[in-house]
Structure 1
Amino acid sequence: MTKRLLSKKEQEQLACNPYVAAVSEKGITYTDEFKRHFIAENEKGKGTREIFEEAGFDVELIGLNRIIPSGKRWRKSYREKGIAGLVDTRKDHSGRPLERELSIEEKYKRLEAQNRLLQAENELLKKLGSTRKADDEEKIELVAKQKFRLIHDTIEKYQLRQMVSYLCKLIGVSRSSYYNYYTDKAKQNRAARDRADEEVKEIILKAFHFRRRKKGARQIKMTLKNQFNITYNLKRIRRIMKKFNIVCPVRKANPYRRMAKATQEHRTCPNLLQRQFKQGIVGKVLLTDITYLTYKQGKRAYLSTVKDAETNEILAYEVSDKITLDIALNTLRKLKRNYPHIAEDAFIHSDQGFHYTNPQFQKLVKKMGLGQSMSRRGNCWDNAPQESFFGHFKDETNIEDCETLEDVKREVKSYMTYYNHYRGQWNLKKMPPVKYRQHLLQIT
Structure 2
Amino acid sequence: MTKISIETKIKAIEEYCTTASSLLGIARKYGIAKLDFQICVGIYARFGKEKLLNPPTVTGDFRLNLVKWKQQNLASIPETCIHFGFRSSGSVYQWERQYNEHGAPALLKLRPGRKSKHDLKSRERDSTFKETESTSPKRELILKDSTRRLKKIGSLEKASKQELAQVIYDLKAKYRLKDLIEALPISMSTYQYWQAKFEHPDEAEEELKSVIKGLFEYFEGDYGVRRLSAQVRDYYRIISRPLPNHKRIYRLMREMGLKCTKYSKRRRKYDSSKGPLGKKAKNVIRRRFMSNRKYQKMVCDITELKAKDGSKVYLEIIKDLATNQILTWEIETHPTLEFSLKPLHKLIDLLPHTGYQLTLHTDQGWQYQHRAWRVLLKHGRIRQSMSHRATCLDNAACETVFSKLKAEIKPDTDYANQEDLIQAIKDWIDYYNHRRIQTKLGNLTPLQYEARLAA
Under TM normalisation by the shorter chain, which class is it? 0.5 to 0.7
Contact 2:181 2:187 in 1 (8 A): yes
Matches of 2:162 and 2:122 in 1, distance apart? 30
Q: TM-score, normalised by structure 2?
A: 0.65
Structure 1 residue 111: Cα displacement: 4.7
- Give the corresponding residue for 1:392: 404
Aligned residues: 337
Matches of 1:235 and 1:298 in 2, distance apart? 44
SS in 1 for 2:443: coil
Structure 1 residue 120: Cα displacement: 3.5
Contact 1:307 1:314 in 2 (8 A): yes
Matched, 1:220 2:228: yes
User: CA, structure 1 residues 253+317, in 2 after alignment: closer, same or farther (shift >3 Å)?
Assistant: same
SS in 2 for 1:125: coil
Structure 1 residue 307: Cα displacement: 0.4
Matched, 1:263 2:280: no
- Which AA in structure 2 matches 1:346? L
Structure 1 residue 204: Cα displacement: 2.8
Matches of 1:227 and 1:345 in 2, distance apart? 41
- Give the corresponding residue for 2:37: none
Correspondences of 1:40-439 after superposition (within 5 Å): 89-93=116-120, 97-99=124-126, 100-102=128-130, 106-107=134-135, 109-113=137-141, 115-117=143-145, 119-120=147-148, 123-126=151-154, 141-156=158-173, 159-161=174-176, 164-179=177-192, 181-182=194-195, 186-190=197-201, 193=202, 195-210=203-218, 214-224=222-232, 230=238, 232-251=244-263, 252-264=265-277, 266-340=278-352, 344-398=356-410, 399-439=412-452
Structure 1 residue 355: Cα displacement: 0.9
Matches of 1:226 and 1:151 in 2, distance apart? 38
Describe the superposition over 1:242-261 as per-residue Cα deviations: whole angstroms up to 9, x where unpaired. 33333324313344543443
- Which AA in structure 1 matches 2:433? N
Structure 1 residue 144: Cα displacement: 1.9
Unaligned runs of 5+ in 1: 3-87, 129-139
Contact 1:423 1:432 in 2 (8 A): yes
User: CA, structure 1 residues 127+340, in 2 after alignment: closer, same or farther (shift >3 Å)?
Assistant: farther
Unaligned runs of 5+ in 2: 3-114
Matches of 1:107 and 1:227 in 2, distance apart? 53
Structure 1 residue 418: Cα displacement: 1.3
How many percent of aligned residue pairs carry the same amino acid?
27
Matches of 1:416 and 1:127 in 2, distance apart? 45
User: CA, structure 1 residues 178+224, in 2 after alignment: closer, same or farther (shift >3 Å)?
Assistant: closer
- Which AA in structure 2 matches 1:215? Y
User: Which moved further from structure 2: 423-432 or 368-377?
Assistant: 423-432
Structure 1 residue 146: Cα displacement: 1.4
Contact 1:120 1:150 in 2 (8 A): no
Describe the superposition over 1:216-261 as per-residue Cα deviations: whole angstroms up to 9, x where unpaired. 2222233446688555432233233233333324313344543443
Matches of 2:280 and 2:401 in 1, distance apart? 24
SS in 2 for 1:92: helix
Describe the superposition over 1:361-384 as per-residue Cα deviations: whole angstroms up to 9, x where unpaired. 111111111010000000011111
Structure number with greater Rg is 1
- Which AA in structure 1 matches 2:154? K
Describe the superposition over 1:414-442 as per-residue Cα deviations: whole angstroms up to 9, x where unpaired. 21121112111111111111111221222
User: Which moved further from structure 2: 350-359 or 292-301?
Assistant: 292-301
RMSD across aligned positions (CA) = 3.2
Contact 2:282 2:386 in 1 (8 A): yes
